[in-house]
Structure 1
Amino acid sequence: MTNSLRRMSIGRLILYVLGFGLAVIWLAPLVWMIVTAVKPAGSAVTVMSELFKAPFTLDNYKYVLGNASVWSWTLNSSLVALVVTVLTLLINSLAAFALSRIRFVGKQLIFWLVLMGLMVPIEAKIIPLFQIMVDLNLINSYPALILPSLAAPLGVFILKQFYDGIPKDLVEAAKIDGAGLLRIYWSLFLPLSRSSMAALAIFTFVTSWNNYLWPFLAVTEEKMMTLPVGIPTFQSAYTAELIIPMAANVLASLPAILAFILFQKHIIKGITMTGIK
């Protein structure tokens, strides 16, 4: 029994060491970015021995926040991320409900087609998406930034797996009480799937907020740029200086970091409950 406990302790120690090592690897770039953002202009931020030495200053943030373009990019990113999140939740939940509870011809085929969408990289869809936006005259507009992001096969899959686990007796009881399909969806399935919906909302918001490739192609006017597209343009004026761009990056990262910290319990609970039948 003692040997077994000892083996468990050693295994747990190795697991903790690996977890700590991975945490350091993931946090090191974030720490470097945060510290670099508060260094005075001209500091040697690429030399680790000098990075954590005083002096420090907040003037970099004042400079970035005083740039009107940054506020415009932030507004665009916020609007696009919020609209994409709300519409994705609505569309994905309706699609998942239909695939889970409504009988129709070709349902299984449609579900497999949705899953196949997970295998297609965004790079393979860029050219046809761009051509569609050009044909519809939507380049440099909010619909161009929002519409392509609404197709989210992963969200349909996650919610369908959860909906499949809802007991049929609850649905039958709702039907006996006179509830239609939309009433069952709104009053039964949505309240029961709050954790899964919350997890999907966080993933969707963060993905949309950090999206770079498609907004970079769909927008050419500075006033329509989002933060991920605008910051590299802002940075190009400071090719020999990393400090000002890092301050802009810290501000751009705050919404995604705060969203994860505040809702991490919902993310874990949503993912866990998705696989429970």
Structure 2
Amino acid sequence: MAISDYPRALRATFLGCSLLASSLAWFGPVAAGTLLSPGTAVLIKKSVEPFGQPTAMLLDGRLHQKWQSLQRRLDDEMVQLALCEGDREGCVSPAALQFLAIVDAARLREGRARLGEINRAINLAVKATSDLAQYGELDVWASPLATLTRGGDCEDYAIAKFVALRLAGIAPDDLRIVIMRDTIRGGDHAVAAARLDGRWLMLDNRRMAMVEDSDIRNVRPTYMLDRHSVMRYTDAPVLVASSSNPEAPVVVNSLAAPSPIAPADQALPQAD
């Protein structure tokens, strides 16, 4: 969809997603940026993750390291938020007070309304800004308070929503960050995802309304992050009969599908 098709109030957020220019293909072959090395992939499983596709856990690599590094920064920020929540009058961080106000408003709602409150509030609170403009780099993952202070692109919106949803009472097992590739325009994008009544809703900085994963078209999910790990979406294993033992199925092509991850020394896709 052309930018002009979006409501004017959302155009800035649509333009603000420079995600993963250098770390993810948030991914596939385009020119510009650099992509994270995936690391070792194991534990293929048919899962109830967003989009319902099999995933492989990444145990190492730069993407895994980047997520772990951000988790440590989030731990530090949680301490700051806890201190401000306990003494709001003495809190010296406007961003912390703003973030807590967003969480407070969401806690007053239930179910889908709670998710929608955070989606809209973060979309409106964050100024869409590219990593290159802010940091002089193509891909920086920021913590929520840094994003509220300085602005951010799509992965920064997703991270802020991921944290806000957790503080608002959504169970960790029902929260994800999903990275997907636009198969029409070729761009890469990240969203927060929350599971409600067994269905995954996408909280996207490009739109105020939430959309179920089953209703999203023209995208290919590539990575999924939860509070503990990074997963890579992979084609489902194909079972064939062994020539020596027709009774025993053999798994083929489980990780043989072309990977969306390019070697670390190659130019990688830039998110929109």
Q: TM-score, normalised by structure 1?
A: 0.29
Q: TM-score, normalised by structure 2?
A: 0.29
Bigger proportion of residues as helix: 1
Bigger proportion of residues as strand: 2
